[in-house]
Chains A and B, each alone.
Chain A
């Protein structure tokens, strides 16, 4: 099970850090992904972080590159999404998810967390 937290209301240009806590199983050997969905829109991949075996390599969507940073603390079975220089268009529900079959970078996702809402507004 994955549980996101840390969402809320933030002003444009502000920062927010989301957490994704895993329970029931370790995710240290899995690629963790963040996906978002704005109201009335489809799903948008945000970024990923690979495991220690793959040097915690990260990759990001162009829309967030340079502003968002994904990290993980395997000792706490938790991943993070640090969001800086937030824009109104970043308003969305943010989900964390993982590859259920290991650390292969891209893939299909299972399970997903319930999501946490980030609202960027003045």
Chain B
């Protein structure tokens, strides 16, 4: 199975700063089949990005996704208070579907 490793585990930033989240795959994801989810305490995960760089409905343009092969990045250009959460990447290129361990973006 494809193992996804997210880094860093925790990102401590202030509102207005830029957040860069990494997701590295143990083997190449060949079909752009990578997604990102946002998870806030007590809430269900919410899709943020799919197909590496396509923003989901309602996601502001301060969120962007990039990467290819085994290295992927979710960038939040200017953190807003509502962006502080845990973010998970997920690959849907190869069964079984797998998720990364998550990156917590916390207020510094």
Contacts and interface: CB of A to CB of B under 8 A. Distances in A.
Contacts of A95: 44-45
A95 B45 CA distance: 9
B101 A112 contact: no
Contact of B95 (A42, A44, A106, A112): A106
Interface of B: 33, 35, 37, 43-47, 50-51, 56, 88, 90, 92, 95-102
Given A107-B92, A108-B35, A108-B92, A45 B98 contact: yes
Interface size class on chain A is 20 to 34
Contact of A110 (B33, B43, B56, B99): B56
Given A43-B45, A108-B92, A115-B44, 17 more contacts: A35-B99, A43-B88, A45-B98, A59-B96, A95-B44, A95-B45, A108-B35, A108-B47, A108-B50, A109-B35, A109-B37, A109-B47, A110-B46, A110-B56, A111-B44, A112-B44, A114-B44
Contacts, number: 54
A105 B96 CA distance: 11
Is chain A's binding surface mostly helix, strand, loop or mixed? loop
A43 B96 CA distance: 13
Contacts of A33: 97
A9 interface: no
Contacts of B90: 43, 108-109
Contact of B96 (A61, A108, A110): A61
A77 to B, nearest CB: 18
B97 A106 contact: yes
A75 B58 CA distance: 31
B10 to A, nearest CB: 14
Contact of B88 (A42, A61, A106): A42
Contacts of B98: 45
Given A106-B92, A106-B97, A110-B56, A42 B44 contact: no
Contacts of B44: 95, 111-115
A112 B42 CA distance: 13
Interface string A97-122: 10000000111111111110000000
